[in-house]
C-alpha cells in the first residue's frame, strides 16, 4: 500500500504530464472476480457430468423404486426425498439433466446459426435485402416469445426435436438483429475494403473476415440465450408440451412435484433449485464474459 | 404527426404480418391440424371428414384468403371443442389476464425502481452487491418455481393465502407477486444503469456544488432524466409478463388467456390457439406503439 503512495507521489512530483495519470488502484475485487467465474464453471461442469454420465453420480438406477419410501422426506437414504412411486428425487434430477441441457444447447446451436446467417446477409447486403429482412424480423418479434415457442411446439406435435425448434424460433430474431448491427459496424472497416479490392467473393468475406469478428458477440448472446432456453424448455415441459415423459427433464419433474405440494415439499423444490443453480451459473459466466469482451473492445 | 403516421403504419404492417405468421406456423408446419384433432390412430376416413369440416383440405392460399376475410370481419372462427366463437371465449377470459398483468406490472415497477435506485446510490458498496445478488436470483429462477415456493410458504405452511382460483382479491396476491418478482429483476438492472449514467453527468456535480442535498437531487433531477429511457423497456416487460402468464395461470389454476391456451393445447383446439395468440400479439404490438409514441412525446429528441 505504502509502495503505491510512494510511487504515485514520486510520479506526481517528478513524472511527466502524461505519466501523471491516476495510478491504477489495485483491483479490490480480484478474488471476487475469479470466484465469479470459477464457481459457476464448477457448477456447470458438475451438471454437464450429470448429463454425460448420470450412472456415475446417481445413487440409484433411473427406474429403481422403493416401496417402503413413497413420498418420503429427505433422509440419508434419499438425500432429496422420494416421489409418488418411491423413486429417488436426486436420481431423477441427475438423470433429467441430459434432457434439459440437450434441449437448451440444441436450441441455441440451431437458433444462433440461423440468426447469424440472417443477420450477416442483412447487415452486409444492406439496401432492400436489409429492409425486407428487418421488417420480417419485426413481425417475428411481435408474437411474445413464449407464445411463439408454444405454437411452434404445438404445430410440430411436441417431443424433443419440436421443443428444440420451438425454442430456436424465439432465439433467431434476436441473434439476427444484434449480428446485423455488428456486421454493419465491421463492413466499413478498411480490411473488408481491402479484401473486396483483392476480388474476394461475398461468401468468402463473410466467412473468413466478418464472422470471426462477431465471435465475441455470438458468445455473449449465446450464454444469455442458453439461460433463457433452459427456462423456456422447462416451462414447455411444465405445461405438458415438452420432451418425452419417458425421459423426464427438470420441468417435467417440477410439474409432477407440483401435484404433491401439501405432502412433499421436496419433490417440486429440488428440481426447481437445479434449474435455478444452472441458470444462475450460466448468467454469472455470461456477465463475466460480457465484461471481459466489453473492456477488450473498449481498449481498442 | 408524420412520426405518428409512420409508426401507426408500421404497427399495422406488423399486425398483418403477425396474423400471417401465426396462420402459417399452425398450418404449414408438418403436422396436419386434422390429424392433431383426430388423435393418434384415427382412420383415414375420420381424418378426411375432419379435414372437410375444418376446411383444411382446400389449397392453403384459399384457406389463407378465407382466414383473412373472416378476420377482417372480426371473426376468429369457432372452437373445435365447444363450437363457441373464439372471440367470445377470449373476451370472457381477457379481464382475468389483464388484472394479473396489471398488478404484476405495478409490483415489478415499484420493486424494480426502488431496488434499482437504491443500488445505484450505493454503487459498489455492500447494499449494491446484496441487491445485485438478489436480482441475479430473481432473473434466473423460473417464474413457476418462484410460484411453487410462494405456495409452499404462504399457502401450505402459513395458511395465509389461497393457492388456487381467481376472482377474489386475495387469490390475486400470490400469482401477481410471483410474476412481479420475476420481472422486477430485469427492470432493476435497467434502472440502476440509467440512474448511474445520470449520476455521472456534470450537472449533478454542479447541483452538489451548489450545496443541494442528495435526496432532492435524486428526486427532482436525477430520476426525471433517468426514468425516461426505462419507458422503452416497458414493452419488453409486458412481453415477458404475457409470456409468464401462460405458465402462472396454469400453476395457480386461474382463469385467463394463458389457461385458455393450455386447455386448447390439451384438446388440440387449433382455432382457439390461433385466436388467442393473435389477440395477445395484437395487444402487444399496439401497446408497444403506445409506448413509442409516449416516449416521443416525453423526449422530443426521438422524433427525428
- Provide the mean pLDDT of chain A: 78
Between A66 and A266, the more confident residue is: A266
CB contact under 8 A, A254 and B145: yes
State how far residue A273 is from chain B, nearest Cα, in angstroms.
8
Query: DSSP character for A249?
Result: -
Phi/psi at B204 (5° precision): -70, -40
The angle subtended at Cα B20 by Cα A128 and Cα B63, nearest 5°, is 130
A136 Cβ partners below 8 Å, 6+ apart?
B17
Task: Note whether B117 and B188 are within 8 A (CB).
Answer: no
CB pairs under 8 A between A and B: 145
**DSSP H or E run through A169:** helix A160-187
- Provide the mean pLDDT of chain B: 81
- The mean pLDDT of A56-69, rounded to a whole number, is 73
What was the pLDDT predicted at B20?
Answer: 83
- What nine digits make up the cell of A108? 441455441
Mutation for B interface: A33, A103, A155, most B CBs within 10 A:
A155
What was the pLDDT predicted at A172?
Answer: 92
Report how far Cα A52 is from the mean position of its chain's Cα atoms. Answer: 18
What was the pLDDT predicted at A109?
Answer: 93
Query: Which residues of chain B make contact with A147, given a CB cutoff of 8 A?
Result: 242-243, 246, 261, 277, 280-281
- Alpha-carbon dihedral A71, A76, A79, A81, rounded to 10 degrees: 0
B180 Cβ partners below 8 Å, 6+ apart?
B103, B104, B105, B106, B107, B108, B111
Complex prediction ipTM: 0.82
Report how far Cα B59 is from the mean position of its chain's Cα atoms. Answer: 34
Q: Is the pLDDT confidence value at B45 over 60?
A: yes
Sign of the dihedral defined by the CA atoms of residues B116, B119, B122, B124, in that order: negative
Q: Is the pLDDT confidence value at A26 over 50?
A: no
Between B27 and A196, the more confident residue is: A196
Q: How far apart are the first and last CA of chain A?
A: 30
Helical pair A215-238 and A250-257, crossing angle rounded to 10 deg: 30
The verdict on B29 touching A (C-beta cutoff 8 Å) is: yes
State how far residue B240 is from chain A, nearest Cα, in angstroms.
7
CA-CA distance, B172 to B104, in Å (whole number)? 9
CA distances in angstroms from A139 to A167, B159, B293, listed in the order given = 17, 45, 19
The verdict on A36 touching B (C-beta cutoff 8 Å) is: no
The total of other beta-carbon atoms located within 10 Å of residue A244's CB is 14
CB contact under 8 A, A157 and B31: yes
Phi/psi at A88 (5° precision): -80, 125
B281 Cβ partners below 8 Å, 6+ apart?
A142, A143, A144, A147, B15, B18, B22
Report H helices in chain B: 2-28, 33-38, 44-54, 60-72, 86-121, 126-140, 143-150, 170-199, 202-209, 214-216, 223-251, 257-266, 270-298
CA-CA distance, B124 to B120, in Å (whole number)? 8
What was the pLDDT predicted at A108?
Answer: 93
Question: What would the pLDDT profile of B243-298 be if each residue is shown by its tens digit?
Answer: 888 888 888 888 888 888 888 877 777 788 888 888 888 888 888 888 878 877 77
The verdict on B24 touching A (C-beta cutoff 8 Å) is: no
The angle subtended at Cα A57 by Cα A56 and Cα A59, nearest 5°, is 105
Going by pLDDT thresholds of 50, 70 and 90, the confidence category of residue A114 is very high
Query: Which residues of chain A make contact with B36, given a CB cutoff of 8 A?
Result: 157
- What nine digits make up the cell of B281? 400479439
- The mean pLDDT of A45-55, rounded to a whole number, is 83
Return the SS3 of A82.
Answer: strand
What was the pLDDT predicted at B161?
Answer: 74
Query: Which residues of chain B make contact with A143, given a CB cutoff of 8 A?
Result: 18, 21-22, 277, 280-281, 284
Task: Note whether B55 and B78 are within 8 A (CB).
Answer: no
Closest residue of A to B281, CA-based? A143
Query: DSSP character for B30?
Result: S
Question: A18 pairs with which residues across the strands?
Answer: none
Task: Note whether B187 and B112 are within 8 A (CB).
Answer: yes
Return the SS3 of A201.
Answer: coil
Q: Is the pLDDT confidence value at A281 over 80?
A: yes
The verdict on B266 touching A (C-beta cutoff 8 Å) is: yes
Q: Is the pLDDT confidence value at B153 over 80?
A: yes
Of the ranges A113-127, A239-253, A261-275, B143-157, which one carries the lowest mean pLDDT score?
A239-253
The verdict on B265 touching A (C-beta cutoff 8 Å) is: yes
Q: Is A66 left (phi over 0), alpha (psi -120 to 50) or beta?
A: beta
Of the ranges A71-75, A112-116, B244-248, which one carries the lowest mean pLDDT score?
A71-75
Measuring CA to CA, which residue among A119, A92, A42, A101 is closest to residue A267?
A: A92
The angle subtended at Cα A77 by Cα A73 and Cα A82, nearest 5°, is 40
CA-CA distance, B266 to B36, in Å (whole number)? 10
- The mean pLDDT of A269-274, rounded to a whole number, is 87
The verdict on B286 touching A (C-beta cutoff 8 Å) is: no
Going by pLDDT thresholds of 50, 70 and 90, the confidence category of residue A27 is very low
CA-CA distance, B182 to B139, in Å (whole number)? 6
B33 Cβ partners below 8 Å, 6+ apart?
B26, B27, B54, B56, B268, B270
Q: What percent of chain B has pLDDT over 90?
A: 1
Amino acid at each position: 500500500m505504502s509502495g503505491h503512495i510512494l510511487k504515485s507521489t514520486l510520479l506526481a512530483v517528478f513524472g511527466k504530464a502524461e505519466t501523471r495519470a491516476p495510478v491504477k488502484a489495485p483491483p479490490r475485487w480480484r478474488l471476487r472476480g475469479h470466484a465469479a467465474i470459477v464457481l459457476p464453471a464448477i457448477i456447470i461442469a458438475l451438471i454437464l457430468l450429470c448429463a454425460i454420465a448420470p450412472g456415475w453420480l446417481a445413487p440409484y438406477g433411473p427406474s429403481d423404486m422403493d416401496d417402503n419410501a413413497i413420498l418420503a422426506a429427505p433422509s440419508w437414504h434419499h438425500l432429496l426425498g422420494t416421489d409418488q412411486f418411491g423413486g429417488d428425487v436426486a436420481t431423477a434430477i441427475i438423470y433429467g439433466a441430459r434432457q434439459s441441457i440437450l434441449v437448451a444447447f440444441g436450441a441455441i446451436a440451431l437458433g444462433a446459426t440461423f440468426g447469424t446467417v440472417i443477420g450477416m446477409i442483412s447487415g452486409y447486403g444492406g439496401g432492400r435485402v436489409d429492409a425486407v429482412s428487418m421488417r420480417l424480423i419485426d413481425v417475428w418479434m411481435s408474437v411474445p416469445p413464449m407464445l411463439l415457442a408454444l405454437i411452434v411446439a404445438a404445430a410440430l406435435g411436441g417431443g424433443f426435436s419440436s421443443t428444440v425448434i420451438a425454442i430456436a424460433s424465439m432465439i433467431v430474431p434476436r441473434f439476427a438483429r444484434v449480428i446485423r448491427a455488428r456486421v454493419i459496424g465491421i463492413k466499413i472497416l478498411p480490411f473488408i475494403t481491402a479484401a473486396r479490392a483483392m476480388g474476394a467473393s461475398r461468401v468468402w468475406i463473410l466467412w473468413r473476415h466478418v464472422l470471426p469478428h462477431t465471435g465475441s458477440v455470438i458468445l455473449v448472446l449465446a450464454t444469455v440465450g442458453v439461460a433463457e432456453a433452459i427456462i423456456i424448455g422447462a416451462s414447455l415441459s411444465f405445461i405438458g408440451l415438452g420432451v418425452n415423459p419417458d425421459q423426464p427433464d427438470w420441468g417435467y419433474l417440477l410439474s409432477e412435484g407440483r401435484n404433491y405440494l401439501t405432502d412433499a415439499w421436496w419433490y417440486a423444490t429440488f428440481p426447481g433449485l437445479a434449474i435455478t443453480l444452472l441458470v444462475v451459473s450460466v448468467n454469472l459466466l455470461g456477465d463475466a464474459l460480457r465484461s471481459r469482451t466489453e473492456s477488450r473492445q473498449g481498449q481498442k | 404527426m408524420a412520426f405518428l403516421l409512420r409508426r401507426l403504419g408500421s404497427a399495422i404492417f406488423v399486425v398483418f404480418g403477425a396474423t400471417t405468421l401465426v396462420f402459417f406456423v399452425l398450418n404449414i408446419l408438418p403436422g396436419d391440424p386434422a390429424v392433431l384433432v383426430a388423435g393418434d390412430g384415427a382412420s383415414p376416413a375420420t381424418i378426411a371428414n375432419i379435414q372437410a369440416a375444418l376446411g383444411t383440405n382446400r389449397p392453403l392460399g384459399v384457406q389463407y384468403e378465407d382466414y383473412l376475410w373472416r378476420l377482417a370481419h372480426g371473426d376468429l372462427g369457432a372452437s373445435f371443442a365447444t363450437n363457441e366463437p373464439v372471440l367470445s371465449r377470449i373476451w370472457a377470459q381477457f379481464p382475468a389476464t389483464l388484472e394479473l398483468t396489471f398488478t404484476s406490472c405495478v409490483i415489478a415497477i415499484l420493486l424494480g425502481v426502488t431496488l434499482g435506485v437504491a443500488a445505484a446510490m450505493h454503487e459498489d458498496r455492500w447494499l449494491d452487491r446484496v441487491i445485485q445478488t438478489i436480482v441475479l436470483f430473481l432473473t434466473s429462477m423460473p417464474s413457476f418455481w418462484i410460484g411453487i415456493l410462494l405456495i409452499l410458504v404462504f399457502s401450505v405452511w402459513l395458511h395465509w393465502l389461497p393457492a388456487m382460483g381467481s376472482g377474489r382479491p386475495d387469490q390475486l396476491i400470490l400469482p401477481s407477486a410471483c410474476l412481479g418478482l420475476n420481472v422486477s429483476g430485469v427492470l432493476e438492472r435497467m434502472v440502476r444503469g440509467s440512474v448511474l449514467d445520470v449520476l455521472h453527468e456534470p450537472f449533478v456535480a454542479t447541483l452538489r456544488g451548489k450545496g443541494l442535498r442528495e435526496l432532492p437531487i435524486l428526486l427532482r433531477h436525477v430520476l426525471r432524466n433517468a426514468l425516461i429511457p426505462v419507458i422503452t423497456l416497458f414493452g419488453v416487460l409486458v412481453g415477458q409478463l404475457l409470456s409468464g402468464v401462460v405458465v402462472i395461470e396454469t400453476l395457480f389454476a386461474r382463469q385467463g388467456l394463458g389457461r385458455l391456451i393450455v386447455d386448447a393445447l390439451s384438446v388440440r383446439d387449433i382455432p382457439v390457439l390461433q385466436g388467442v395468440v393473435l389477440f395477445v400479439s395484437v395487444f402487444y404490438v399496439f401497446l408497444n406503439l403506445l409506448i413509442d409514441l409516449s416516449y416521443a412525446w416525453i423526449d422530443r429528441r426521438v422524433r427525428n
